[in-house]
């Protein structure tokens, strides 16, 4: 209503008149927003006796929103004017039609935000709606905040899950999700963490905590190196004699896998061979490789002995059934026979076996490559994508590694070291585990130093595969991603809790660079503070 001035007013009466006039001005569209975005109070104007028609309730104006504060940062945010969204008791999480597969994601984010999960229902004020649909890239999502509602949609469940991570982190960082629309997707399809559980036993609970951490960082791959010289860490039915006293039961592994599936993390198991098999050799000493002088290099099986292949294949078949994920790691690195100056002279039995199997020009490296291909043939019928370390691939032989093997590039320090480009130029696909930036080696032996999040954040990108220099950008599509790797060479140098604390910021930095490898806009100090706040 309109108030008229009937004479001088003092004290509270004058303040009431001013407020009334401000309200009338706002209703008529004549107000101007003050610095805070709220309507400002105009000076009193002349009185009028006209009775205008009813006007709408005044509305507050808002500045354009800013992008949500998350790790990794979202790649695109379309700002809008509005109050954003905050969790409230009247709101809840609902699932859109034909999106029933998102129940797990819905229940998780509802619990994290402290609001009810209502399942399949139409969204109302204050609600978060999850929906499957659209034609975006795998793992992409769109998150829209409008009219006191949040809608997260994506072409697959993983993308919608990542949208809920953005919502969770934004609320944790600022108390709200800003108005507007986020369109987000990862730059690389493989993003993760590798853990050496063979040299050091990590409990199922510790591994599960890392999976939760990875999910919040939008990392999707956990490598488990569970067999090495120092231990074999998962229960076995086919060869229980090789299993270490401290190990994961299969029931614990299934529990880990269930949580990983919920957080859209694929577990990549690795049984490394023909090196790094010391735990198997301890139970089967007849498999030990010996040189011409009788030396027995640790962890190396005799690949000319058919019994070596049989036991490894038994284990491959057993665990390929336990792990349902899309990947399998065959290892193949650091086979000691190929680290000798003259493998044929040092290991004449292997040289004779190579010639017998592959012809007079064959060498020990051909026998090793044939071993790798034979192990790949055992796992390939499961449909898994196969991986091997870069120093298990050789040139100049009569046998070549199978073309479908992905190169997991970690070092350029091996004998006859090959540059990343030598693999990429052959069309190989590659995952980056650059030991210069991404290797967390317990005890820091062999000139390793614990990597820092700052160095990864400021200097590394997925193109930096070896050392500190990038490969040409034309190979970017062949570099499928990266994993940060924990290796337990001096296992007692850190406790599991210290390892978890030590890798916390490096993992956050990695997550940023595999989600969006361009130069970050935030300084390291601001990124670090945000990473600590949202996790």
Question: Could you give the residue ranges of the DSSP H alpha helices within 347-438?
Answer: 348-358, 364-379, 420-424
- Element (DSSP H or E) covering residue 18: helix 11-27
Q: Cα–Cα distance between 420 and 412 in angstroms, integer?
A: 8
Q: How long is the chain?
A: 535
Q: How far is CA 419 from CA 393, 394, 487, in A?
A: 12, 12, 23
First to last CA, the chain: 51
Other C-beta atoms closer than 10 Å to the C-beta of 346 total 19
Question: Which residues fall within 8 angstroms of residue 356, CB to CB, at 6 or more apart?
Answer: none
Q: Cα–Cα distance between 179 and 121 in angstroms, integer?
A: 23
DSSP secondary structure code for residue 532 in this structure? H
Q: Cα–Cα distance between 320 and 477 in angstroms, integer?
A: 28
Q: Cα–Cα distance between 529 and 512 in angstroms, integer?
A: 14
Closest CA to 483 of 444, 434, 528: 434
Q: How far is CA 342 from CA 339, 346, 351, in A?
A: 8, 6, 11
Q: How far is CA 430 from CA 98, 115, 421, 433, in A?
A: 37, 42, 10, 10
Judge if the upstream peptide bond of residue 274 is cis by omega within 30 degrees of 0: yes
Q: What is the DSSP string of 156-224?
A: SHHHHHHHHHHHHHHHHHHSSB-SEEEEE--S-SEEEEEEETTTS---HHHHHHHHHHHHHTT--EEEE
Q: Cα–Cα distance between 459 and 453 in angstroms, integer?
A: 10
262 is catalytic: no
> Which one of 129, 334, 406, 408 is the catalytic residue?
334
DSSP secondary structure code for residue 33 in this structure? B
Angle between helices 204-216 and 496-515 (to 10 degrees): 30
- Residue labelled with tokens 């193949």: 332
Rg of the chain (C-alpha set): 30
Q: How far is CA 138 from CA 70, 155, 187, 196, in A?
A: 20, 7, 11, 29
Tokens, residue 154: 């994506």
Query: ∠ CA(489), CA(492), CA(498), 5° rounding?
Result: 100
Question: Which residues fall within 8 angstroms of residue 170, CB to CB, at 6 or more apart?
Answer: 68, 69, 70, 176, 177, 178
Residues designated catalytic: 334
């Amino acid at each position: 209503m309109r108030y008229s001035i009937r004479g001088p007013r003092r004290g509270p009466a004058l303040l009431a008149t001013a407020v009334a006039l401000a309200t009338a001005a706002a209703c008529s569209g004549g107000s101007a927003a003050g610095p805070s975005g709220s309507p400002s109070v105009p000076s009193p104007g002349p009185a009028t006796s006209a009775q205008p028609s009813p006007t709408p309730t005044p509305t507050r104006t808002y500045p354009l929103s800013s992008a949500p504060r998350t790790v990794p940062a979202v790649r695109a945010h379309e700002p809008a004017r509005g109050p954003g969204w905050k969790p409230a008791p009247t709101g809840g999480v609902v699932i859109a039609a034909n999106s029933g597969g998102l129940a797990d994601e819905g229940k998780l984010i509802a619990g994290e935000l402290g609001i009810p999960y209502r399942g399949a229902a139409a969204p109302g004020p204050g609600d978060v709606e999850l929906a499957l649909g659209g034609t975006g890239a795998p793992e992409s999502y769109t998150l829209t905040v409008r009219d006191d509602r949040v809608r997260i949609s994506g072409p697959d469940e993983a993308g919608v899950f990542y949208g809920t991570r953005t919502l969770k982190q934004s609320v944790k960082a600022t108390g709200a999700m800003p108005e507007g629309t986020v369109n987000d997707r990862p730059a690389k399809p493989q993003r993760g963490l590798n853990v050496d559980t063979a040299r050091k036993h990590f409990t199922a609970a510790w591994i599960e905590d890392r999976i939760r951490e990875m999910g919040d960082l939008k990392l999707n791959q956990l490598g488990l190196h569970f067999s090495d010289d120092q231990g074999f860490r998962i229960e076995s039915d086919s060869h229980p004699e090789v299993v270490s006293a401290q190990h994961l039961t299969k029931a614990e592994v299934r529990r880990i896998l269930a949580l990983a599936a919920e957080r859209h993390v694929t577990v990549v198991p690795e049984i490394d061979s023909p090196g790094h098999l010391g735990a198997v050799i301890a139970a089967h000493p007849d498999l030990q490789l010996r040189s011409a002088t009788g030396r027995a290099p640790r962890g190396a099986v005799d690949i000319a002995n058919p019994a070596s292949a049989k036991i490894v294949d038994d284990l491959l078949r057993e665990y390929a059934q336990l792990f349902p994920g899309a990947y399998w790691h065959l290892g193949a690195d650091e086979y000691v026979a190929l680290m000798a100056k003259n493998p044929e002279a040092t290991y004449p039995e292997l040289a004779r076996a190579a010639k017998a199997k592959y012809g007079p020009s064959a060498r020990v490296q051909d026998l090793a490559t044939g071993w790798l291909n034979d192990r790949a043939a055992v796992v390939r019928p499961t449909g898994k994508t196969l991986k091997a370390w870069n120093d298990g691939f050789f040139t100049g032989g009569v046998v070549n590694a199978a073309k479908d093997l992905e190169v997991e590039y970690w070092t350029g320090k091996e004998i006859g070291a090959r540059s990343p480009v030598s693999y990429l130029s052959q069309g190989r696909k590659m995952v980056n585990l650059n030991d210069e930036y991404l290797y967390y080696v317990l005890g820091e032996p062999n000139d390793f130093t614990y990597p820092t999040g700052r160095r990864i954040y400021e200097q590394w990108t997925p193109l930096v595969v070896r050392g500190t220099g990038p490969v040409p950008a034309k190979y970017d599509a062949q570099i499928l991603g990266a994993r940060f790797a924990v290796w337990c060479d001096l296992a007692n140098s850190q406790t599991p809790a210290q390892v978890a604390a030590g890798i916390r910021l490096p993992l956050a930095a990695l997550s940023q660079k595999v989600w969006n490898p361009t130069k970050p806009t935030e300084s390291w100090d601001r990124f670090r503070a945000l990473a600590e706040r949202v996790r």
